[in-house]
Amino acid sequence: MKKKIGFGSSCVHGPEEYRTTRPHQLPIYATSSFVFESIEEGMEVFTGQRQGHLYSRFGNPTIDAVAEKIARLESHGMDIDAFGYLTSSGMSAIATLALGLLRPGDAILTQGNLYGGTAELFSKVLEPLNIGLVLARLGDKRAVARVLAEHPSVRMLYFETPANPTLECIDIAGLCELGRQAGCHVVADNTFATPYLQQPLKFGTDFVVHSTTKYLNGHGNSTAGAIIGKSQALMQEAIFPKLKLLGTNCNPWDAWLVNNGLKTLEVRMERHCRNARQVAEWLESRPEVERVNYPGLVSHPSHTLAKRQMRDFGGMLSFELKGGLEAGKQFMNHIKFCSLAPTMGDVDTLILHPASMSHLNVPREIRLDNGITDGLVRLSVGIESVEDIIGDLEQALRIEKS
């Protein structure tokens, strides 16, 4: 039959898939839909009687393979199963999870020193849907227990550890116990630490979210997010319908790029950690610096906790210059080797000013109350030669001082 069709039809149809051996690299399935061999097969796949792909918004072999890989990393070494979905961004992962688990009248309990985009999502998108927002110092478990007792509507306990950008660490196991007692879903944003350094599921969280745009990809060339959960029923019955109907799914190309980044995650994180520790120690010795926020420093309030629940201390730090906002602006304007960019987790070193960038729309009183001052500088330490990173910081400090 193929030989008898017209020229135009031959242009449109085929070619057949001629794969004879397994590819060494994950293929990119750049297809929006999938073909059934019969109407019966289609009916069985649509009704869930048979496993199969329908439409890439519902799932795709490339996307599903990478989601499963991240789930395996988050549950590595544990006697549990974990299940994952990839989304279009870290923000869409958080939004999809919240809309899947919460109903009008419910509330989220979280910290004040939260990534600015997440804080805005909770206050500007979810609150108008009658999903409340309650803030507490999550490092104080007595205060958390009191807030949970005062707000029985709280159905989600959401936190970052280490937090962005103060690097405060949260006692994951302690919060999970409080969350269980209150009947809450406990969710950890593990973007800063990655599953190589920290596995929140091990300490009892129900879900983990990631902006895979950051360390999991690591090369600044992909935007995606991930939702990882322990309950297959919740993932399939509560989360997947929202992902499918809101269209927050990932795409095959970004999923493939994330998978490429994951191949070097362990070796990258080891170098990120080593460089960040050296940079933090150097910054702490500088007279121009008021304080350095890095869990690997003994001076950091979260140092002991971080040692207990993390493999190492990560590649993120922040610091306050004694000259405040003006000193910070002058310092960043004279950076040459590092990059001034509103992201983190790439292989190259990135500098950001939270008050005017990532946390611009967080109310100033909330920022200041949580240590996110106007002069705070956030540094995502890359994997370059550490002497080049320190050399750039030193020359910018010299100019700022003069």
Domain with 277 in it: what CATH number? 3.90.1150.10
Distance, in Å, from the CA atom of 113 to the CA atom of 111, rounded to the nearest integer, reads 6
Is residue 351, in this structure, part of any structural domain at all?
yes
DSSP state of 249: B
- Give the model's pLDDT for residue 212: 98
Q: How many whole angstroms separate alpha carbon 65 and alpha carbon 75?
A: 15
What local confidence, expressed as pLDDT, does residue 10 receive?
78
- 308 in the same domain as 244: no
138 occurs within a structural domain: yes
The angle subtended at Cα 340 by Cα 336 and Cα 342, nearest 5°, is 165
| Active-site residue identified among 29, 69, 155, 189 | 189
Answer whether 317's CB lies under 8 Å from 165's CB: no
Q: Which helix (H) or strand (E) holds 380?
A: strand 376-380
- The parent domain of residue 201 ranges over 39-262
248 and 277 belong to one structural domain: no
236 and 290 co-located in one domain: no
Of the candidates 214, 268, 329, 378, the residue annotated as catalytic is 214
| Residues 310 and 333 occupy one common structural domain | yes
> Is 189 an active-site residue?
yes
- Return all residues near 315 (Cβ < 8 A) that are at least 6 apart: 215, 269, 272, 273, 275, 276, 345, 380, 381, 382
Q: Which residues of 112-140 are buried (b: 16+ CB within 10 A; e: fewer)?
A: bbbbbbbbbbbeeebeeeebbbbbbbbbe
What is the pLDDT, as a whole number, of residue 378? 93
Angle CA(207)–CA(212)–CA(216) in degrees, nearest 5? Answer: 105
CATH of the domain at 195: 3.40.640.10
The pLDDT, as a whole number, for residue 12 is: 83
Determine the pLDDT at residue 359.
59
Structure confidence at residue 309 (pLDDT): 98
- Preceding peptide of 23 cis, ω within 30°: no
Per annotation, catalytic residue among 29, 69, 85, 115: 115
Residues 284 and 253 in one domain: no
User: How confident is the model at residue 323, as a pLDDT?
Assistant: 85
pTM to 2 decimal places = 0.94
- Catalytic position from the list 57, 72, 202, 286: 57
Which pLDDT belongs to residue 149?
97
Segments of the chain with pLDDT less than 70: 1-3, 356-362, 367, 370, 400-402
* 72 tagged catalytic: no
Query: How many CA atoms are closer than 13 Å to the CA of 262, on its beta-carbon side?
Result: 21
Cα separation of 369 and 366, whole Å?
A: 5
Q: What is the pLDDT of residue 399?
A: 78
